[in-house]
């Protein structure tokens, strides 16, 4: 009896000790995470627009991380924010996620989440898989739509939302903290364009030509149980270069990996993984390649016009590391360390309180009139039908184009883009005038029968107490982001100082959200017509138009008013095209079945931490099965004498292995699995083996799983 009472009292004490104060217990919170890794071989990658950059394996898997936040007092007021390890969110993905949630789960998820209160943002990893857009412009370098990738992206997002919804807490608190990273964490890749912004405006920002500020949210349930974090910092996902062919979450994916592993190890709990999402914000002109651009000699700088000996291909920016993997780690680690510091600093954080609201509208960006108070000319402006300028084809110093275009130029004479542009109508005089001073390479808003890019785009605002999250379907440059945030902050504080007090109101931009429409520069940066200006599709007043329309949402949120839905975007589900063949058949050499060893590990050697060990297997096409939430590779340690006495130490989900797929002969292939021992995962000495999992396909289309194993090898710590 007594001992039972003691236990109850003790439990109560623990509860009282851990529970968060009631005044802070304002929200119900749910977190979820799901694998969204696309086909690991022979599919075009998304980001650099390099035709030959097609996947050939996995470095680490891509994930969707979801956060549901509901007002504890009014449960129907809720939002879900999903951060995805993709290059951008396409309109196809967003509209399909919202549509399928309604159809698949009409009585559960469908009741709570729809197009208006789901935000899907992207980390902007350039090492993910492409072909998931409805619009031709974004499927061009992947030779069309890749249904398998589209499906795994959509499914992964829905599964993450479902987990977050099913795990919604009864209460909880959200802590917001902000801090700065050092000058070695990001760099402006178009500094000459930035310099066109007015001097007095530039002088107001002590961070210089990129934002250094990081915003972090910490989520806990009513018992103080740590659920996860969501974080924003501007830097491109271009630490992995345009010659990489491994699927990777790039620097933000690595930051998530580091924090999630660290927290899970620290919290040691049986259930409830810690979810850490590193979101993207105004990264348009922001590069992780902090050593800056230089010519092949590694010394001659080339920031000015981004060419060496007249060639763009030769001027590339280098990351801080010894190679692209190392650079990814360094830039990811900086974000992870800064985020953990903000996360742990509970005393220095703001506790969010106040209603959860969301507003969403569609805007026709081809024809938006902009009031003088938003334009930089002081006169009425208008957006234009979409067009790409010449510098778009030049690429950037993070990934120069294949061809000899210079940024800021209007010369032609390039076979690939001349060929592509021959499909597109010649721009009218009116269009030229509207887009000026942009020299038009591709007049993509005028194509028949379907536009190559969307003209109806979503903008969306969430508020959680005094925090406003602006979801924009584009990449805003540093100064563009600052301008939008400033306008929105003013409107919120002016219209509702109770919820948005001048000190507590915080505004963050969720970049690359809900659809994709290229870049957004300031009016002044646009005149430089570097890559970002050339990719500001709707003309010089693009930023002003987005700001004006977002300001309407801010006014509506502050005054709790409704907003119009706006024009309906196109649904191109049945209009996509593809030139990509599927897998016909897998074969293997006679006597070497799928999964058998091609090149074994060295069994005579003793391996040590810091070394790499490799095994090569006869394999089949990874497109046959994506191994979602499973793995193509594993490293396993022997735990006993039985044939199955092994524990899994590393899989595709971790940093320390690479799985590389190679086509050998018409239908034969190998898988090379390399383990960098102890690189991020400390290991125990012992006997290890490497295994490979796959699925083969025969001529009749029958798919058969197979497993292969290397010989055992010895590892000392």
Ligand X SMILES: *[C@@H]1O[C@H](CO)[C@@H](O)[C@H](O)[C@H]1NC(C)=O
Contacts with ligand X by CB under 6 A lie at 95, 99, 163, 166-167, 182-183, 208, 272-273, 364, 366-367, 410, 439, 455-456, 567, 571, 573-574
Distances (CA, A) of 525 to 127, 433, 474, 644: 28, 18, 16, 62
Q: How far is the CB of 113 from ligand X (least distance, A)?
A: 14
Q: How far is the CB of 227 from ligand X (least distance, A)?
A: 9
Nearer to ligand X, 106 or 589 (CB): 106
Centre a 10 Å sphere on the Cβ of residue 648 and count the other Cβ atoms it contains: 11
Q: Where are the beta strands (DSSP E) in 280-328?
A: 286-287, 292-294, 316-318
Residue 31, classed as helix, strand or coil, is strand
Q: Is the dihedral of CA 319, 321, 324, 329 positive or negative?
A: negative
Q: How far is the CB of 182 from ligand X (least distance, A)?
A: 6
Nearer to ligand X, 410 or 674 (CB): 410
d(C-alpha 280, C-alpha 236), whole Å: 8
- Any idea what DSSP says for residue 322? S
Residue 592, classed as helix, strand or coil, is coil
> Are residues 191 and 317 in contact, defined by beta-carbon separation less than 8 angstroms?
no
d(C-alpha 256, C-alpha 653), whole Å: 12
* Residues noted as catalytic: 287
Nearer to ligand X, 501 or 573 (CB): 573
Q: How far is the CB of 263 from ligand X (least distance, A)?
A: 12
Q: Return the closest-CA partner of residue 283 out of 338, 229, 217, 239.
A: 239
In degrees and rounded to multiples of 5, residue 34 shows phi and psi of -150, 150
Structure tokens at 478: 């540093």
d(C-alpha 614, C-alpha 660), whole Å: 11
d(C-alpha 68, C-alpha 113), whole Å: 10
Residue nearest to ligand X (CB): 208
The H-or-E segment that residue 520 falls in is: strand 519-520
Q: How far is the CB of 688 from ligand X (least distance, A)?
A: 28
Centre a 10 Å sphere on the Cβ of residue 238 and count the other Cβ atoms it contains: 32
Structure tokens at 673: 């699995």
Q: How far is the CB of 436 from ligand X (least distance, A)?
A: 8
Binding-site residues for Zn(2+): 124, 236, 475, 519
How distant is the alpha carbon of residue 340 from its chain centre? 20
- Any idea what DSSP says for residue 578? B
Q: Return the closest-CA partner of residue 233 out of 213, 262, 253, 207.
A: 213
Tell me the three-class secondary structure of 329-353, residue by residue. HHHHHHHHHHHHHHHHCCCCCEECC
Q: How far is the CB of 708 from ligand X (least distance, A)?
A: 29
Q: How far is the CB of 385 from ligand X (least distance, A)?
A: 6
Tell me the three-class secondary structure of 427-440, residue by residue. CCHHHHHHHCCCCE
Compute the residue count for the chain: 717
Cβ within 8 Å of residue 572, ≥6 positions away: 92, 134, 135, 450
Centre a 10 Å sphere on the Cβ of residue 396 and count the other Cβ atoms it contains: 28
d(C-alpha 144, C-alpha 581), whole Å: 11
Nearer to ligand X, 195 or 456 (CB): 456
Q: How far is the CB of 366 from ligand X (least distance, A)?
A: 4
β pairing state of 395-396 and 399-400: antiparallel
Nearer to ligand X, 99 or 600 (CB): 99
In degrees and rounded to multiples of 5, residue 627 shows phi and psi of 60, 40
d(C-alpha 184, C-alpha 288), whole Å: 9
Residue 715, classed as helix, strand or coil, is strand
Q: How far is the CB of 511 from ligand X (least distance, A)?
A: 22
Nearer to ligand X, 362 or 500 (CB): 362
User: How many separate helices (H) and strands (E) can be counted in the chain?
Assistant: 15, 38
Q: Where are the beta strands (DSSP E) in 270-380?
A: 275-279, 286-287, 292-294, 316-318, 350-351, 356-364, 369-370
> Are residues 444 and 388 in contact, defined by beta-carbon separation less than 8 angstroms?
yes
Q: How far is the CB of 274 from ligand X (least distance, A)?
A: 8
d(C-alpha 594, C-alpha 196), whole Å: 59
Nearer to ligand X, 228 or 465 (CB): 228
Distances (CA, A) of 357 to 177, 257, 460, 499: 21, 31, 11, 11
d(C-alpha 252, C-alpha 232), whole Å: 10
Centre a 10 Å sphere on the Cβ of residue 690 and count the other Cβ atoms it contains: 27
Distances (CA, A) of 657 to 80, 559, 592, 636, 692: 33, 52, 24, 12, 12
In degrees and rounded to multiples of 5, residue 600 shows phi and psi of -85, 170
Nearer to ligand X, 225 or 712 (CB): 225
């Amino acid at each position: 009896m007594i001992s039972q009472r003691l236990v109850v009292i003790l439990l109560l004490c623990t509860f009282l000790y851990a529970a968060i104060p009631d005044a802070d217990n304002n929200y119900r919170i749910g977190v979820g995470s799901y694998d969204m890794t696309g086909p690991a071989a022979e599919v075009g990658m998304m980001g650099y627009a390099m035709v030959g950059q097609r996947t050939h394996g996995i470095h680490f898997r891509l994930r969707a991380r979801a956060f549901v936040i509901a007002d504890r007092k009014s449960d129907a007021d809720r939002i879900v924010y999903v951060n995805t390890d993709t290059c951008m969110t396409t309109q196809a993905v967003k509209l399909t996620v919202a549509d399928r949630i309604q159809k698949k789960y009409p009585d559960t998820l469908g009741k709570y989440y729809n197009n208006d209160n789901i935000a899907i943002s992207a980390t902007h990893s350039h090492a993910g898989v492409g072909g998931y857009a409805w619009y031709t412009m974004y499927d061009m370098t992947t030779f069309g739509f890749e249904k398998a990738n589209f499906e795994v992206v959509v499914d992964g997002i829905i599964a993450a939302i479902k987990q977050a919804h099913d795990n919604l807490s009864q209460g909880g608190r959200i802590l917001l903290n902000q801090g700065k990273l050092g000058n070695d964490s990001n760099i402006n890749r178009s500094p000459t364009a930035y310099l066109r912004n007015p001097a007095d405006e530039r002088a107001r920002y002590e961070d210089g030509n990129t934002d250094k500020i990081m915003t972090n949210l910490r989520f806990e349930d009513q018992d103080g149980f740590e659920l996860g974090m969501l974080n924003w910092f501007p830097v491109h996902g271009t630490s992995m270069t345009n010659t990489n062919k491994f699927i990777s979450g790039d620097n933000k994916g690595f930051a998530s990996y580091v924090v999630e592993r660290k927290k899970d190890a620290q919290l040691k709990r049986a259930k409830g993984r810690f979810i850490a999402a590193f979101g993207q914000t105004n990264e348009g002109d922001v590069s992780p390649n902090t050593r800056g651009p230089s010519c092949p000699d590694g010394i001659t700088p080339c920031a000015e016009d981004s060419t060496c000996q007249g060639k763009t291909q030769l001027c590339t920016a280098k990351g801080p590391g010894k190679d692209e993997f190392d650079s990814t780690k360094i830039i990811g680690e900086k974000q992870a360390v800064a985020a953990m510091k903000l996360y742990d600093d509970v005393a220095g954080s703001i506790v969010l309180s106040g209603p959860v609201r969301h507003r969403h509208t569609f805007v026709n960006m081809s024809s938006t009139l902009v009031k003088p108070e938003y334009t930089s000319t002081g006169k009425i402006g208008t957006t234009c039908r979409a067009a790409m300028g010449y510098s778009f084809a030049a690429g950037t110093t993070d990934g120069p184009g294949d061809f000899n275009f210079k940024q800021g130029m209007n010369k032609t004479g390039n076979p690939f883009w001349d060929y592509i542009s021959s499909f597109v109508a010649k721009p009218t005089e009116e269009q030229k005038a509207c887009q000026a001073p942009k020299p038009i390479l591709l007049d993509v808003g005028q194509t028949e029968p379907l536009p190559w890019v969307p003209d109806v785009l979503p903008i969306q605002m969430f508020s959680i107490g005094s925090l406003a999250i602006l979801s924009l379907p584009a990449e805003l440059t540093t100064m563009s982001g600052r301008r939008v945030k400033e306008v929105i902050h003013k409107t919120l504080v002016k219209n509702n100082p109770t919820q948005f007090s001048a000190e507590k109101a915080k505004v963050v931009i969720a970049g690359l959200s809900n659809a994709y429409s290229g870049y957004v520069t300031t009016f002044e940066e646009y005149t430089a017509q570097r890559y970002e200006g050339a990719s500001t599709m709707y003309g010089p007043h693009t930023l002003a138009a987005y700001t004006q329309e977002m300001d309407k949402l801010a006014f509506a949120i502050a005054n709790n008013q409704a907003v119009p839905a706006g024009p309906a975007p196109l649904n191109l589900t049945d209009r996509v095209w593809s030139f990509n063949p599927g897998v016909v058949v897998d074969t293997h050499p006679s006597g070497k079945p799928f999964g058998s060893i091609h090149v074994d590990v060295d069994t005579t050697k003793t391996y040590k931490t810091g070394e790499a060990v490799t095994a090569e297997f006869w394999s089949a096409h990874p497109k046959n099965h994506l191994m979602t939430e499973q793995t193509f590779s594993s490293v396993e340690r022997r735990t006993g004498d039985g044939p199955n006495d092994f524990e899994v130490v590393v899989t595709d989900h971790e940093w320390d292995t690479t799985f590389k797929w190679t086509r050998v002969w018409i239908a034969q292939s190998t898988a090379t699995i390399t383990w960098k021992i102890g690189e991020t995962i400390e290991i125990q000495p012992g006997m290890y083996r490497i295994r490979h999992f796959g699925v083969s396909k025969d001529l009749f289309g029958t798919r058969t799983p197979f497993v292969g194993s290397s010989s055992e090898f010895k590892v000392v710590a």
